[in-house]
Amino acid sequence: MTITASPCIKDSCLLVRGKVVFTEVPQNVVVSPASSDSSAFIGATSTTQSSRHVFSLGFLEKYKFLCLFRFKIWWMIPRVGKSGSEIPMETQMLLLEAREEFALHDEVSSDAAAENTFYILLLPVLEGQFRTSFQGTPENELQFCIESGDASVQTLQVHEAVFVNSGDNPFELFKDSIKILEKHKGTFSHLENKKVIPAHLDWFGWCTWDAFYREVNPQGIKEGLQSFLEGGCSPKFLIVDDGWQQTINEFQKEGEPPIEGIEFATRLVDIKENSKFKCSGSDNKCTDLHEFIDDIKEKYGLKYVYMWHALAGYWGGVLTSSEVMKKYHPKLAYPIESPGNVGNFRDIVMVILEKYGVGIIDPEKISYFYNDLHSYLARSGVDGVKVDVQNLLETLGSGHGGRVSLTTQYQQALEQSIARNFKDNNLICSMSHNSDSIYSSKMSAVARASEDFMPREPTFQTLHIASVSFNSLLLGEIVVPDWDMFQNLNIVLSSLQSKHETAEFHAAARALGGCAVYVSDKPGVHDFKILKKLVLSDGSILRARYAGRPTRDCLFKDPVMDGKSLLKIWNLNKLSGVIGVFNCQGAGSWPLKEIAEHISPTPSTISGHVRPIDVEFLEEVAGENWHGECAVYAFYSGILSKLSKKGNLEVSLVTLQCEIYTVSPIKVSKSTIVTCHIAWKWTSNGEFGQNLLFAPIGLLDMYNSGGAVDTMNCIIKLSECIIKIKGKGCGRFGAYSNTKPKRCMLDMKEEEFTYNAEDGLLTVKLHGECKLRDIEFVY
């Protein structure tokens, strides 16, 4: 049953597809149609002018929901629930699960119930100089708050503050909704419409942050790169994080007791590198940043070097008295936080900056600042930048037309400077999870997906994996979500983790996240066994096609704190799907959420099921005439199974344990040449009397095995049938086949292979260079 009528208000109820979503909707709330039959905008009017309004949408009850909210000013995390009272302040995305009604006497299977489920997406968006967020009340009322961040920027009404849409597939719903908003609002671009995606995403990287923090120095960087080289796994991109700039802190006096967080009041003095990066070589040959970068690129084969800086220059902005900075007309400003931020979590950064102020560059001069900084870096051999602390601008909008206006000015200036000074749109955005930034991103194509990876915080490990995957539902339509670096070292952080390898846990997640893969190891402290499951010998990675996101049956479950749910993350490669299953229970708890008495924060074993149907859009890679059968290969156990589309495998995992499944469709076709997974019945000369079933798995010793399969086709001749595959990399290459081939050819030379008749696993060893190889199986 499908009802396509636009959302509307009737009898004080907001209806979507004829279902009541909100009750007791106030009379000042208005709905106007958007550009599709299923979508609309919601606004409201007030009797008084204000820079901040809180409007009621009515009461929300009896719907399962997933929301993304900012628990800190910088970062979103997910929350699930069943009533409006559970929706936190600063919610920026709300997804509801709705079901078509069945007759009371109908017996409904779980599959039938799933097929009659649809989804309602509500997005608080930007309207002019105002941005919107949701918040619930103890009475289950859902409110939307609009604010400008500037007391002089006021309004009586908004018309398009909330966008609402519905659909049968939640992932299509996100994509369609963001595309509608892109076209209607014109302030940002969908990822598919961003012309250039940074090339560093396809290469292994190293970030200096957790290795050195602000003590980063040239010699340490060289030692780190050398240790990677000696281990046979060299990074191809490097991020020189915080600690390379010329800065000053005027507030922490020598000999005085340390002030917590005072480092965030530090300000930028000059755009050039500090003294650590001058005369940096042991023989003093490298006299500046340029020579240092040239040296490490030549010695260690780096393709990309990125430098870190904050959107305002540094954490505390720029030093207003600096002679270098005076031409940008900086002024000291004191941040003013939104009540929504203050109501959730008070971040130490903001406590410090509210006390000591921020040196903010005149918005009319910010484009000159960025161009001067980036052109200097580009002349020094730098290829791109990671730009941090972006949400700070929302607190500095007073006197500048408000938070949205200020963010827009800075964002446009930043993107124009990146386009002018760096190739390939080489920009990583960070600490940019407010809707001001999200819906102002026209060119920016990569952004951090969650709070920092924190290697020394044992309770944060599972939260990180859950956050990046859920946040990617929204962010992944606008940018390639960056799941952050991780530390590739298995340290016992507590008794809880004495039997678990958190590095393996994080590495497996990055392998299917569709994101960059980079680590933050200290020099000489690496686990190359793990790295070589992620990185090919040429330094490239097997990156999946999309952002990794939770499977449909995980969307309204809490994989961290409900004590029973596994987290499943899906993605697609060119010719297969991939599912990662993670036990995130019993190792940590969400911020701002009470722990239920029956939930024990101790390791536990959780069981669940994996199905080929968990991979959305699998038919895209299966092509025509796919009958729904798949070969499913489990990475850790090495078990190969043949399943129907709706078949399932049971999986049991202990806390901080994971498994990865490659799902490769098996297809039936009568064509003589086919460019997909094939199943044939070849009867020439009577040599075959059974169907030949075949599906490539890929590199069996890589987490994302299927990422190594580039193309496949089948040629049927009079005397033989040849399956031709182009595969990338070196190592064991596997496929499913229901019969043993006569021979295998690798780059036109016959190669030995193994075949297990019990499970159909066909294996050949790829030797030599890490390149696209021609693999042929002849039947």
Six-digit token string for 324: 């270098």
Distance CA 444, CA 417 (A): 11
N-to-C CA span, the chain? 48
Per-residue pLDDT, 758: 95
**Burial profile 163-196: b = 16 or more Cβ within 10 angstroms, e = fewer:** bbbbbeebbebbbbbbbbbbeeeebbbbbeebee
Residue 425: what residue type?
N
550 vs 377: CA distance, rounded Å = 39
Task: Name the pLDDT band for 496 (thresholds 50, 70, 90).
Answer: very low
Residue 691: other Cβ atoms inside 10 A: 14
pLDDT of 412 strictly over 90: yes
CA pair distance 112, 117, nearest whole angstrom: 9
Alpha carbon 705 to its chain's center: 20
pLDDT in tens, 354-399: 999 999 999 999 999 999 999 999 999 999 999 999 999 999 999 9
**What distance in Å separates the CA atoms of residue 120 and residue 99, rounded to the nearest whole number?**
10
Q: Give the range among 48-52, 562-566, 688-692 with minimum mean pLDDT.
A: 688-692
The pLDDT score that the predictor gives to residue 595 is 78
Mean predicted confidence (pLDDT) in 251-257? 88
The residue type found at 742 is: K
CB 579 within 8 A of CB 614: yes
Angle at 117 between CA 112 and CA 121, to 5 degrees: 165
Phi, psi of 375 (to 5 degrees): -65, -35
Contact in structure between 24 and 134 (CB atoms under 8 Å): no
Structure tokens that stand for 54 in this block: 């809180």
**Nearest CA-CA partner of 657 in 517, 532, 497:** 497
Poorest-pLDDT segment among 41-55, 327-341, 681-695: 681-695
Q: According to the model, what pLDDT value does residue 711 have? A: 95
SS3 of 70-137: the string is ECCCCCEEEEEEEEHHHCCCCEEEEEEEEECCCCCCCCCCHHHHHHCEEEEEEEECEECCEEEEEEEC
Question: Highest-confidence range of 319-333, 454-468, 758-772, by mean pLDDT?
Answer: 319-333
d(CA 520, CA 58): 47
614-668 per-position pLDDT tens digit? 999 999 999 877 889 999 999 999 999 999 999 999 999 999 999 999 999 997 5
Alpha-carbon gap, residue 566 to 653, rounded angstroms = 8
Handedness of CA 460, 466, 468, 470 (dihedral sign): negative
**Mean pLDDT, rounded, for 286-303:** 95
List the domain boundaries for the chain. Answer: 8-101+113-186, 605-778
Q: Of the ranges 451-455, 463-467, 476-480, 611-615, which one carries the lowest mean pLDDT score?
A: 451-455
Q: Structure tokens of 186?
A: 């014109």
d(C-alpha 561, C-alpha 633), whole Å: 29
| Helices and strands: H and E segment counts in the chain | 14, 45
For residue 677, pLDDT over 60 is answered with no
Q: What's the pLDDT band for 113 if we cut at 50, 70, 90?
A: low
> Which of 95, 125, 144, 122 lies closest to 188 in space, CA to CA?
125
CA proximity to 656, closest of 523, 520, 466, 525? 466
Name the region of 729 (left: φ>0; alpha: ψ -120 to 50; beta: rest).
Answer: left
What SS3 state is found at 728? Answer: strand
pLDDT at 253 exceeding the cut of 90 = no
How many beta carbons lie within 10 A of that of residue 652, not counting itself?
13
Judge whether residue 699 has pLDDT over 60.
yes
Mean residue pLDDT across the chain: 92
| Cβ within 8 Å of residue 597, ≥6 positions away | none
Is residue 318 a contact partner of residue 268, using CB atoms and an 8 Å limit? yes
3-state secondary structure labels for all residues of 359-409: EECCCCCHHHHHHHHHHHHHHCCCCEEEEECHHHHHHCCCCCCCHHHHHHH
- Mean pLDDT value across residues 715-735: 92
64-88 burial: b if 16+ Cβ within 10 Å, else e:
bbbbbbbbbbbbbbbbbbebbbebb
pLDDT at 599: 64
Residue 278's contacts (CB-CB under 8 Å, 6 or more residues apart) are 287, 288, 289
Cα Rg, the chain, nearest whole Å: 27
Q: Using a pLDDT cut of 70, give the percent of the chain over it.
A: 92
Q: Which residues contact 689 (CB under 8 A, 6 or more apart)?
A: 683
What integer pLDDT is reported at residue 598 of this predicted model?
62
Q: Report d(CA 226, CA 299) in Å as an integer.
A: 9
In angstroms, what CA-CA distances link 151 with 43, 112, 128, 332, 652? 21, 53, 15, 18, 55
Find the angle CA(116)-CA(584)-CA(526) to the nearest 5 degrees: 130
Q: What is the pLDDT of residues 142-188, one digit of tens each?
A: 999 999 999 999 999 999 999 999 999 999 999 999 999 999 999 99
Residues 274 and 292: their CA atoms lie apart, in Å, by 13
Report the DSSP beta bridge partners of residue 630: 643, 665
Which residue has tokens 């396809």? 202
Name which of 48, 52, 135 is nearest 336 in CA terms: 52
Helix axes 461-475, 502-511, angle to 10 degrees: 10
CA distances to 4, 668, 689, 722 from 685, in Å: 56, 21, 10, 16
Beta strands in 443-516 (DSSP E): 446-448, 480-482
